[in-house]
């Protein structure tokens, strides 16, 4: 029942964090965000040699590396340049970054498929489709559920995402919709075992769902974490798993504040150890937005609680959570799934 009592507080915190995600950007980043006043198209035309690049560069298929799409959209290879004239995934990453929160927030699973598919069309293979397969009209229509959420958070539906201009599913020359999952919005915060293999052997065994990106599907979180396997395997930092597990499922604590994010200090350490490897393994992309350390509290912060890898006394153990009735025998929250 402690869970229910804390729910309001935590959901406020999550909303604040989520807003930070959307608004806590320096000017440089803000300029990149296409939908502030200027329309995406007008901005891109000013910064990228669009049509000329598209005409002079022969199209090619390549492996998707941008973190908000890689491993999460049902196909692995994309065709570039895209219709916006982006020739590299770095350009795509910069255009997609401001949409990342809406892919996670649970307004529609099809929003990710749409946003990724528009910018990273699927490699056409032998379908004969010029320029790669874009999302189907139906995929786009389902994704439009996110419009309300975007308005609520002072953003707007990208003008480039025109559902009417897309092919219908029955053409078989487009990326079909995925099934929607129940939304997170009314779900209670719950502590669950961090079940991902990276998260085994940490002092913290329980993590919170939904996370601060408002992802509530363990399956979605695990798929995203899986994409860090190459970085983990590179051995760049012994604390990388701690950082990832704590970001994707904030650690449940026995303190008054029921959860803790990894401290900024450990984030900075991991970042400095792994950034160049990440970039090398991902076609030169920058350190991903979700792992940007300014998002995480300093250990000296009085308002937020954070966790370091060696913190043993802070962790809520499964036995304690069980005794409090917060989880059931199998480590799952009792009202789960
Ligand atoms: C969307 O696409 C349709 C069909 O191509 C076109 O008629 C319409 O003007 C477009 N709408 C916008 C807002 O660009």
CA of 161 to the centre of ligand 1 (A): 10
Which of the residue ranges 90-94, 265-269, 330-334 would you say has the lowest mean pLDDT?
330-334
**Helices and strands, counts by H and E, the chain:** 14, 7
Q: Ligand 1 within 6 A of 140 CB? A: no
pLDDT tens-digit series, residues 2-30:
444 344 445 444 544 544 444 433 323 33
Q: For the residues 82-87, what does the mean pLDDT come to?
A: 95
Distance CA 19, CA 7 (A): 18
Question: Mean pLDDT across the chain, nearest whole number?
Answer: 83
Residues in the chain: 337
CA of 172 to the centre of ligand 1 (A): 21
- 82 contacts: CB under 8 Å, gap ≥ 6: 92, 118, 119, 120, 121, 131, 132
Quickly name the fold that domain 34-171 has: 1.10.2000
* % of residues, the chain, pLDDT over 90: 61
Q: Ligand 1 within 6 A of 162 CB? A: yes
pLDDT tens-digit series, residues 226-269:
999 999 999 999 999 999 999 999 999 998 888 999 999 999 99
Distance CA 82, CA 131 (A): 7
pLDDT tens-digit series, residues 60-73:
999 999 999 999 99
Query: Which pLDDT value is given to residue 104?
Result: 87
Please indicate whether residue 105 or residue 174 has the higher confidence score (pLDDT).
Answer: 174
CA of 164 to the centre of ligand 1 (A): 6
Q: For the residues 210-225, what does the mean pLDDT come to?
A: 89
pLDDT tens-digit series, residues 282-297:
999 999 999 999 999 9
pLDDT tens-digit series, residues 114-147:
999 999 999 998 888 888 999 999 999 999 999 9
- Of 2.40.50.140, 1.10.10.10, 3.40.50.450, 1.10.2000.10, the CATH number of 182-336 is 1.10.2000.10
Query: Which pLDDT value is given to residue 316?
Result: 92
Q: Could you give phi then psi for residue 192, rounded to 5 degrees?
A: -140, 160
Query: Which pLDDT value is given to residue 329?
Result: 60
* % of residues, the chain, pLDDT over 70: 78
Query: Which pLDDT value is given to residue 56?
Result: 54
Query: In the sheet where 259-262 sits, what is the strand order?
Result: 190-193, 206-209, 251-252, 259-262, 306-307
Q: Ligand 1 within 6 A of 160 CB? A: no
Q: Where in the chain is the domain with CATH 1.10.2000.10?
A: 34-171, 182-336
């Amino acid at each position: 029942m402690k869970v229910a009592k804390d729910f309001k507080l935590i959901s406020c915190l999550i909303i604040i964090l989520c807003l930070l995600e959307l608004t806590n950007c320096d000017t440089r980043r803000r300029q990149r965000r296409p939908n502030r006043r200027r329309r995406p198209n007008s901005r891109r035309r000013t910064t990228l040699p669009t049509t000329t690049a598209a005409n002079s560069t022969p199209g090619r298929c390549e492996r998707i590396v941008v973190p908000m799409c890689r491993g999460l959209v049902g196909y692995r290879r994309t065709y570039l340049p895209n219709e916006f004239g982006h020739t590299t995934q770095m350009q795509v990453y910069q255009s997609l970054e401001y949409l990342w929160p809406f892919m996670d927030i649970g307004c529609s699973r099809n929003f990710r498929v749409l946003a990724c598919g528009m910018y990273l069309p699927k490699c056409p293979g032998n379908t004969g489709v010029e320029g790669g397969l874009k999302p189907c009209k139906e995929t786009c229509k389902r994704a439009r559920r996110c419009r309300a959420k975007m308005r609520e958070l002072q953003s707007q539906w990208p003008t480039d995402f025109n559902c009417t201009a897309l092919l219908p599913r029955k053409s078989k020359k487009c990326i079909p919709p995925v099934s929607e999952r129940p939304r997170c919005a009314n779900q209670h915060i719950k502590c669950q075992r961090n079940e991902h293999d990276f998260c085994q052997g940490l002092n913290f065994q329980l993590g919170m769902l939904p996370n601060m990106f408002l992802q509530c599907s363990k399956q979605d979180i695990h798929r995203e974490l899986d994409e860090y396997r190459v970085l983990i395997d590179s051995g760049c930092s012994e604390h990388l798993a701690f950082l990832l597990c704590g970001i994707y499922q904030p650690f449940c604590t026995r303190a008054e504040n029921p959860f803790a994010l990894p401290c900024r200090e450990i984030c900075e350490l991991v970042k400095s150890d792994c950034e160049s490897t990440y970039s090398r393994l991902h076609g030169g992309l920058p350190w991903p937005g979700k792992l940007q350390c300014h998002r995480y509290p300093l250990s000296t912060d009085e308002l937020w609680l954070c966790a370091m890898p060696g913190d043993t006394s802070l962790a809520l153990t499964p036995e304690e959570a069980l005794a409090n009735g917060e989880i059931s025998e199998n480590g799952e929250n009792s009202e789960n799934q």
